[in-house]
Structure 1
């Protein structure tokens, strides 16, 4: 029984598809999905994946990741991207909480059972 390629390389992958913003020299910025994110790269899912080439800049807000990538392989609707450099994005500010929506146990009216 052989090992899976991920186990051989000791790579842990995130299989969830996430939204990404991709920019490159041959294409203007476009939105796409990325899948199989690992420490080495990711798989870009886009209907015109054959058009991309060169070094791309990929930003994945849900993974808090920004990376410079090169195209490792291409298919009709997907492409493998190899990370050249990665940057962890700082989380954005939390939205202001609505004071009216805040309910604490002390702010609720007491319920008195009638006996």
Structure 2
């Protein structure tokens, strides 16, 4: 029987970051609650249901930096992202 996949270990972070939408504009503030090698949990100032499927997240407001992410779940003002 194959071993069940283990989730990457998450590290509590509570660090401010910015997400940008396609085209690199409309930077929005978020808080990275926890992070792992494969993804993160973020909290927004608004309802996360409005997030598109793919975003870019950076710890600096500079849109040229950061990582592309796929939004994998949304609950209220929180969302889970997987790094692409």
TM-score w.r.t. length of structure 2: 0.75
Distance 1:56 1:10 in 2: 22
Matched residue SS, 2:49:
helix
Corresponding pairs, count: 74
Instruction: Could you list the structure 1 runs, at least 4 aligned residues long, displaced by more than 4 angstroms after superposition.
Output: none
Higher relative contact order (CA 8 A, sep 6+): 2
Q: Deviation of residue 34 (structure 1)?
A: 0.7
Q: Paired residue for 2:68?
A: 68
Matched residue SS, 1:17:
strand
Q: Paired residue for 1:46?
A: 44
The structure with more strand, counted as a fraction of residues: 2
Gaps of 5+ in 1: 1-7, 85-115
Which structure: larger Rg?
A: 1
TM-score w.r.t. length of structure 1: 0.56
